[in-house]
Structure 1
Amino acid sequence: MTVLALGLNHGSAPLDLRGRFAIPTEALGRSIQGLRDHLAQARPEVAILSTCNRTEVYVGLPASACPRHALALAEPAMEWLAGHGGTPSGELRRHSYFREGAEAARHAFRVAAGLDSMVLGEPQILGQMKTAVREADSAGALGTTLHQMFQRSFAVAKEVRSRTEIGSHAVSLAAAAVRLAQQLFDDLPRRRVLFIGAGEMIDLVATHFAAQKPLQMTVANRSLERAEALAQRLHATQMPLADVAERLGDFDIVISCTASSLPLIGLGAVERALKRRKRHPMLMLDLAVPRDIEPEVGRVDDVYLYSVDDLAHQVQVNGARRQAAVSEAEAIVSAGVDSFSQWLQQRSAVPLIQALQTQTEAWRQAELQKARKALARGQDVEAVMEALSAGLTRKMLHGALSELHSSAGEAHQQWASSVQRLFLRSGS
């Protein structure tokens, strides 16, 4: 049990609660160091995964660590996460989950394979996990145990996508956003679209919308350089983020996904935009966690506001074929978990193997020293060799023979069986 996983996701916590725990990629390194400092005495391996759907902490200890020591880190890790989100520990526990050992690995493997995603099989999570691992490695917090678990999770994800139909049936949030826009506006080529942000999600959604050739696409972002790069690739225009509230009424579709800790678009700005539009409807997709658009906007007539959770409900399709693919994928995950558990067990035996090697070397040196002294006294070489081999044999068998003589009942049967497996080829 040298691996722990704890956190909250779209299945355990509502959107607004998840928003409190979101960690931007550029802040992951600081958060990892903060968590390790909080767990100062143990200094364990640490990785943090934070996306719009989940914030998870992974903790690893060397194989030689006592399982009780690993479990003792669960409570302070949960305390740190609660503090990071500014949430009472009790509330976090009601909306979080905790896994240990093989089940922690199973959770990581399922996340990587897209089996634990809001949109089943979505591919973005694998890239997000790889980013989390790189950040942990850069922070010096990724040791052998977590490195091995994550690398195996990536291999499992690759196998799931190549051997099952999970990937082919995955419907991304980006595709769902386009489909939703087509349901509201049957004339997308005549519509103006505003993208707020320039990160991976906006890039993906904007690429899907560009294929529909809308009348105009505009990118607004705090970093003008990133906005310009995305706008050039999409043949779109750009504008400063500060101008969004004033120009909101120019757009039929607004899609926002930034790392802002506070909403960028408020109720008043939307009401003014609708007045300018003479109440022509607007579609607003808020894919950010925390929210970019105040939730009260959703109560305004002529505004169709969807959060990332709302959008995910639009993509639960292809049930039967998808479920068959899930069964195949879960079998692949289970095989991966068994392999990782075996690796952990082998790693846990390393200290025992080292101690055994040290002990037998000490016996060997002691018998060699006796033999050299005997030879120096002029004793017969054959007799010295006999004494050396007999001495080593007695030392090797002493413990096993003592237990056989002193044990009784079930313990005696277990010792007898072990001795047969270790020393008797025929097993009888």
Structure 2
Amino acid sequence: MSLFALGLNHETAPISVREKLAFSPEELRAAVAELVATHGVHEAAIVSTCNRTELYASARDEAILLDWLAQSRQLDRATITPYLYRLPERDAARHVFRVAAGLDSMVLGETQILGQLKDAVREAQEAGGLGASLNGLFQKAFAVAKDVRTQTAIGANSVSMAAAAVKLAERLFPDIAELDVLFIGAGEMIELCATHFAAKRPRRMAVANRTVERGQALAQQFGGEAFALAELPDRLPQFDIVITSTASQLPIIGLGAVERAVKARKHRPIFMVDLAVPRDVEPEVGALPDVYLYSVDDLAEVVRQGRAERVQAVEAASVIVEQGADEFMQWLDNRALVPTIRALKDHAERLRRHELERASKLLQKGEDPAAVLESLSLSLSNKFLHAPLAALNQAATSQHGDLIDAVRRLYHLHDEE
């Protein structure tokens, strides 16, 4: 079995492709269980966010992962292959370390991905997908991320997706304090967006959520109101800014609903940011003349501002990542030696116990202790040397050089000896 990572992200695939390969939080555990039950897969974990879907596995080969992903998402393998990266062993380790450290994110240096990665690991653990190799990989990733955070300024001047949404809104509306803002969903991303918009003191803030109680809990933090998602078609015309991020697998805001809202607003503009993958808003909405719709990919230009100032931090962080990858591969290589080391120790222990029992019986019979010790040491020496001496004597002439070098290294032999 070898270690592999297979996936796609915001750099390799547009949102129209990413949303087809996304896994919802509710289906993630079952998906991991299904993947690890696949013949040829020993361990598995799945990371699925708005910017990436990635499979990490200890498997016979990467083709198994590609076939499973295509079948799981009911897609043709050939249609998704051009967007995927396939990373073996060290490349896989290096990649997940960069992801954990925020070096592979749309928002360079952001911390949200680390929490998402930890959630994915927890789901994989619950699904029975983690073994020694993947657990070691992810624990090392978390350690590398911590080192990057504490030893570099990678997070300095970082513009989050939430902050970018505010910046874009301010380009359209001179004063957010005069506007009504609606947040759809009640997850972490919506909470971050609500925090940033609340700092601008909008006229009104509201939260629409499937579970009204959860929406109320979030709305109360910002002095806003909450209502059920079922009321959205009637309430949509009331809001100038709409920020949505749910886990729905289908759009919750259709073209018709927005057309009616624009008409009811007498064509006053609506600013919409869809942070969900799969998307919450039908893409056709963006073509309406009075609607300004942005997806996560559309925010790229804003969130990437300030990258130049962090080039030095990125270089320092990359050094930490490379060192971490080297250390992990050393650990992975050492794990391959464990069965042989254990077998060698067990063999030596059996020899030791056998000779000790024989010596104890001789002493009980009244044999001379010095003679018993001499016999014990000779017998142990002969038995320990039997295997290497037999290998040297029985080896073909072509093998002599390698065997001699190996024995000399193992026993620290020098020419004078």
Q: TM-score, normalised by structure 2?
A: 0.92
SS in 1 for 2:278: coil
8 Å contact 2:108–2:307 — kept in the other structure? no
Q: 2:75 aligned with 1:77, yes or no?
A: no
Q: 2:180 aligned with 1:192, yes or no?
A: yes
Counterparts of 1:236-255 in structure 2 under 5 Å? 236-255=224-243
Aligned to 1:16: 16
* Residues 87-143 of structure 1: per-residue CA shift (max 9 Å, x gap): 112222222122222222111111100111122111110010111112222223322
Q: 2:192 aligned with 1:204, yes or no?
A: yes
| 1:419 Cα deviation after fit | 3.0
8 Å contact 1:9–1:18 — kept in the other structure? yes
- Distance in 2 of aligned mates of 1:194 and 1:326: 36
| 1:395 Cα deviation after fit | 2.4
Q: 2:145 aligned with 1:157, yes or no?
A: yes
Sequence identity, in percent?
51
SS in 2 for 1:214: coil
Counterparts of 1:26-425 in structure 2 under 5 Å? 26-37=26-37, 39=38, 41=39, 44-60=42-58, 70-72=59-61, 74-368=62-356, 371=359, 380-404=368-392, 412-424=400-412
SS in 1 for 2:156: helix
| 1:241 Cα deviation after fit | 1.1
| 1:243 Cα deviation after fit | 1.9
- Distance in 1 of aligned mates of 2:289 and 2:355: 92
| 1:16 Cα deviation after fit | 1.5
After the TM superposition, which of the residue ranges 48-57 and 243-252 deviates more from structure 2? Answer: 243-252
Q: Name the amino acid aligned to 1:324.
A: Q
8 Å contact 1:164–1:328 — kept in the other structure? yes
Q: Name the amino acid aligned to 1:52.
A: C
SS in 2 for 1:86: coil
Q: Name the amino acid aligned to 1:71.
A: R
| 1:302 Cα deviation after fit | 2.1
8 Å contact 1:108–1:153 — kept in the other structure? yes
Aligned to 1:66: none
After the TM superposition, which of the residue ranges 279-288 and 396-405 deviates more from structure 2? Answer: 396-405
8 Å contact 1:231–1:238 — kept in the other structure? yes
Q: Name the amino acid aligned to 2:107.
A: V
SS in 1 for 2:60: helix
| 1:397 Cα deviation after fit | 2.3
| 1:227 Cα deviation after fit | 0.7
After the TM superposition, which of the residue ranges 229-238 and 407-416 deviates more from structure 2? Answer: 407-416
**Unaligned stretches of 5+ residues in structure 2:** none
Q: Name the amino acid aligned to 1:247.
A: R
8 Å contact 1:7–1:96 — kept in the other structure? yes
8 Å contact 2:35–2:41 — kept in the other structure? no
8 Å contact 1:421–1:427 — kept in the other structure? no
| 1:50 Cα deviation after fit | 1.0
| 1:51 Cα deviation after fit | 0.5
| 1:157 Cα deviation after fit | 0.7
8 Å contact 2:186–2:218 — kept in the other structure? yes
Q: Name the amino acid aligned to 1:23.
A: F
SS in 1 for 2:155: helix
8 Å contact 1:420–1:427 — kept in the other structure? no
- Distance in 2 of aligned mates of 1:36 and 1:422: 39
After the TM superposition, which of the residue ranges 388-397 and 149-158 deviates more from structure 2? Answer: 388-397
**Unaligned stretches of 5+ residues in structure 1:** 61-69
After the TM superposition, which of the residue ranges 404-413 and 321-330 deviates more from structure 2? Answer: 404-413
SS in 1 for 2:146: helix
8 Å contact 2:106–2:303 — kept in the other structure? no
Q: CA, structure 1 residues 190+409, in 2 after alignment: closer, same or farther (shift >3 Å)? A: farther
Q: TM-score, normalised by structure 1?
A: 0.90
| 1:410 Cα deviation after fit | 8.5
Q: Name the amino acid aligned to 2:49.
A: T
Please tell me the root mean square deviation across aligned C-alpha atoms, in Å. 2.3
- Distance in 2 of aligned mates of 1:193 and 1:220: 11
Q: CA, structure 1 residues 318+401, in 2 after alignment: closer, same or farther (shift >3 Å)? A: same
- Distance in 2 of aligned mates of 1:377 and 1:193: 95
After the TM superposition, which of the residue ranges 358-367 and 12-21 deviates more from structure 2? Answer: 358-367
8 Å contact 2:41–2:57 — kept in the other structure? no
8 Å contact 2:182–2:243 — kept in the other structure? yes
Q: CA, structure 1 residues 427+324, in 2 after alignment: closer, same or farther (shift >3 Å)? A: farther
- Distance in 2 of aligned mates of 1:227 and 1:427: 79
| 1:42 Cα deviation after fit | 5.5
* Residues 213-263 of structure 1: per-residue CA shift (max 9 Å, x gap): 011111111111111111111111122212222222221111111111111
Counting matched residue pairs gives 416
